[in-house]
Amino acid sequence: DEFEKVDIDSGDEVEELADVYNDMMSQTQDYINGQKRFVSDVSHELRTPLAVLEGHINLLRRWGKDDPQQLVESLDASYQEVKKMSSMIRDMLAISHLQHSEDYKFEKTDLVASVEELVEDFRMLNQTFRIEFESFFVGYKAYAQIYKNHYEQALTILLDNAVKYAGDNEKYIKVTLKSDEKNIITTVSDHGLGINAEDLPHVFERFFRADKARNREIGGTGLGLSIILTIAKIYDGSVSVTSEVGKGSEFSFSVPKAT
């Protein structure tokens, strides 16, 4: 159900108008396709935990009263699945809110202050980690064109991941703020598990989780990095990653300097 282009070759205002119409309609079509994809991805992702939950409820109905071990096991598993579903819904709502946040485009935020605050919070919460902040704006402010909540949401996800995927490696995380001509670039690097080359190009995709076996033990929805990508797009910013298995990862998030 693609829309039909108006094809006018008159070389006058009517052709111009037709071009404007075609552009508008094709943008609308892209938007609709995006929404459809989102709904279908979401339904697909929720189906698995729901099926597992249904299985356990059936086991409970059949054996739960007489078999205490089954009772404990199935209640435990059901609880895990419900928690998984609520994290997914939380993250999906975050994405959906972001897609309607045109109003925030003109906000300005001092990234130095935001990083300092968040790094301090993370130090408190993860005392086994050494978390450093290096700013090339030391003593100065670094204003970027981004809504404070959005920036902090993105940085929180990167810091969360650096902690979550640390493994048994050195628990050392470094946040760097620097700038090029147009952008302020935030980099979070860790010395954790790393990501293999095959998975690396996909980590920003919705619901993608690298290394399925490993991830079964580490909780997550596969939505964190796609939230960051969504935020970056709102502000015409960008994201990037380099990583090496067993050595660590480095994620960068860049947003335009405030003008």
| Site for ligand ADP contains 220 (CB under 6 A) | yes
Q: Give the residue with the Cβ less far from ligand ADP, 107 or 250.
A: 250
Q: Give the residue with the Cβ less far from ligand ADP, 121 or 160.
A: 160
Q: What is the pattern of x (binds ligand ADP, CB under 6 A) and - over residues 224-253?
A: xxx----------------------x----
Write the DSSP assignment of 71-131 as a string of letters: HHHHHHHHHHHHHHHHHHHHHHHHHHHHTT-GGGGG--EEHHHHHHHHHHHHHHH-TTSEE
| Site for ligand ADP contains 223 (CB under 6 A) | yes
- Report how far residue 173's alpha carbon sits from residue 133's, in angstroms, rounded to the nearest whole number: 9
| DSSP run (H or E) holding 253 | strand 248-256
Question: DSSP code of 239?
Answer: E
Closest CB 227 distance from ligand ADP, rounded Å:
8
Closest CB 210 distance from ligand ADP, rounded Å:
3
- Report how far residue 131's alpha carbon sits from residue 190's, in angstroms, rounded to the nearest whole number: 9
Where would I find the H helices in the chain?
13-63, 68-98, 111-125, 148-164, 212-217, 224-234
Closest CB 107 distance from ligand ADP, rounded Å:
24
Closest CB 126 distance from ligand ADP, rounded Å:
13
Residues making contact with ligand ADP (CB under 6 A): 157, 161-162, 165, 190, 192-195, 203, 208-211, 215, 220-226, 249
